Amino acid sequence: MMINQATSALILIDFQTRLMPSIDEGETVVASALFLAKVAQVLEIPILGTEQNPAGLGPNDERIKVFCDQTVVKHSFNGVADGLADCIRAINPLITQVVLAGCEAHVCLMQTALGLQAMGYEVAVVPEASGSRMPQDKILAMDRMGQQKMVMLGAEMLAFEWLKTSDHPQFKNVLQLIKNR
């Protein structure tokens, strides 16, 4: 599976203010997610966020929230159960691929990935922009999603896959984001 700029969306899952301080290497995870969001924004790729029970976990980190075209509030660990797939279709019915990053990797990220895959989407995950409180939980989640044939991508790998060529009109802008990491 190659990730296509025209048919993909970036989903940023539960980067919430009360959760992130507990996430292993949380600031590094947020930094990678922000890089993905900046690249997606430059390439005009839709960005959706989710917030799990924001009354309890707070809203998404404002640095993440400002990039989201829409944020789905959810109470199910699987965002599809609370309308995420409907939001994707409403933004662009031609989207067939979703790239996920977020927290916690072994709960909401994984269950949402499985839910989107069951809805027929091709699912890719960016481990460096995903986290759990316990490192071993993240490892198990990535292993399980890999076993379910979800693609694991590095953030820069994804950026270049979206670009496809150095002739892309936004190549220099994305290259500058890469250099500024």
The string of pLDDT tens digits covering residues 87-103 is: 999 999 999 999 999 99
Quick one: average pLDDT of 128-152?
A: 98
Q: How far is CA 140 from the centre of its chain?
A: 18
The mean pLDDT of the chain is: 97
Given a cut of 90, is residue 14 above it in pLDDT? yes
Quick one: pLDDT at residue 173?
A: 98
Confidence of residue 27 (pLDDT cuts 50, 70, 90): very high
Q: Pick from 60, 115, 59, 107: which is nearest to 82 by CA?
A: 115
Q: Pick from 52, 48, 42: which is nearest to 14 by CA?
A: 52
Q: What is the Cα–Cα distance from 140 to 144, expressed in whole angstroms? A: 6
Quick one: pLDDT at residue 70?
A: 96
Q: What is the Cα–Cα distance from 142 to 62, expressed in whole angstroms? A: 26
Quick one: average pLDDT of 12-27?
A: 97
Quick one: average pLDDT of 4-10?
A: 97
Given a cut of 90, is residue 39 above it in pLDDT? yes
Report phi then psi at 161, rounded to 5: -70, -40
Given a cut of 90, is residue 83 above it in pLDDT? yes
Strands (E), the chain: 8-13, 47-52, 70-74, 97-102, 122-125, 151-152
Given a cut of 90, is residue 19 above it in pLDDT? yes
Q: Which domains does the chain have, with CATH numbers?
A: 5-179 (3.40.50.850)
Calculate what percentage of the chain has a pLDDT beyond 70: 100
The 10s digit of each residue's pLDDT in 43-79 is 999 999 999 999 999 999 999 999 999 999 999 999 9
66 Cβ contact list (under 8 Å, min separation 6): none
Q: What is the Cα–Cα distance from 180 to 13, expressed in whole angstroms? A: 24
Quick one: pLDDT at residue 1?
A: 86
Q: Pick from 53, 47, 59: which is nearest to 15 by CA?
A: 59
